Amino acid sequence: MNSKVDLNEKFISFLEQTKDDTHKSVTHLNDRVLIVDGLNTFIRSFAVNPAVNEDGLHVGGMVGFLKSVRYTCDILKPSRCIIVFDGKNGSGRRQKIYPEYKGTRKVKRRLNRNVDWGTAPMDEEQSMKQQMGRLIEYLEQLPLTLICVDGIEADDTMAYISQQVLKESDIFLMSTDKDFLQLVDERVKVWSPTKKKLYTKKEIFDEYGIHSHNILTYRILDGDKSDNIGGIKGAGLKTVKKFLPGILDDQKFTAKDLLEFVEKSDGKIKFLENIKNSSNIIKRNYLLMQLQNVDIPNHTKMKIQGAVNGKVPQLIKYRFQTMFLKDKLTSGIKNLDSWIMEFTRLDRFRGLNG
């Protein structure tokens, strides 16, 4: 009984959190933009969604991705949705800084459009590549902007769009990657598809006790196991807040401020000494993790701008339905006509250019 009450309270709290945002009037295509971390969403869906089609073929990565994006559009009501994937050799820049970056990743992540959608048994990596390729074909039938630029990761593309290209838009970044929390301000928010939670400045402060503009400094100290980025020994959240009072301020406490602070410390606190003796790690992690001013070439920026400013594709419902029936996905998405209505809504915004 208590668990039901808790769930109801959480749902009511969630509705209160999002209702002000989702009922704002839209007068321009880019008023409310959802930007999806494509590979992050696909890998998560592939891992947790057990859906199989009528032939017994695993389709969880593909179906889970489509359902996750559709659900988020239904909740946040964006006027536009942009899906961003890592480009070929996207991790190259960071691996030059730190060769072990993402060194623990086991599955090769490659966008492969040229696939044979058959029913033969396959291993996990084959299934992942095949589902990814077919997923792209599905996404191309929906009113979505797809962006994949060689030599750059999705994180940088998403950050550049939110900080430089669509500077006047309300932005929702969809990802489980905590690095995006550093970008949250009055205009930019982060949607966690696993927690079903919209991270605003308030939500970040309530969860971490740190303002969003200082999340980067905390992340630099803590590191990121998922990307194989080591941090400073002992840099738990409680310890960081206890010995680094500047990180609690409503003013920015940067990596530079951090190093200056520990240089002036008296040497009696082991944690501060750990930071002082690991300034190279602080500088390295800043270069690897900061998204507020991404380091990408001008020609790459122009490609991203061109993709964002280009015409949004229209919904081609009959092609989507044909593919859906051919792939026998009815067990994954029960009522396609009802399900696709959210993309019909998105399709109506394509003409709102001013």
CB 59 within 8 A of CB 332: yes
- At 18 the pLDDT is 52
Q: How far is CA 218 from the centre of its chain?
A: 19
pLDDT in tens, 30-42: 999 999 999 999 9
Distance CA 293, CA 183 (A): 10
pLDDT in tens, 298-342: 999 999 999 999 999 999 999 999 999 999 999 899 999 999 999
Residue with tokens 């089609």: 53
For residues 86-102, average pLDDT: 92
- At 17 the pLDDT is 55
pLDDT in tens, 254-309: 999 999 999 998 878 999 999 999 999 999 999 999 999 998 999 999 999 999 99
pTM: 0.89
In degrees, to the nearest 5, what angle opens at C-alpha 43 toward C-alphas 71 and 319? 55
Which of 74, 82, 141 has the alpha carbon at shortest distance from 327? 141
* Helix/strand/coil percentages in the chain, nearest 5: 55, 10, 40
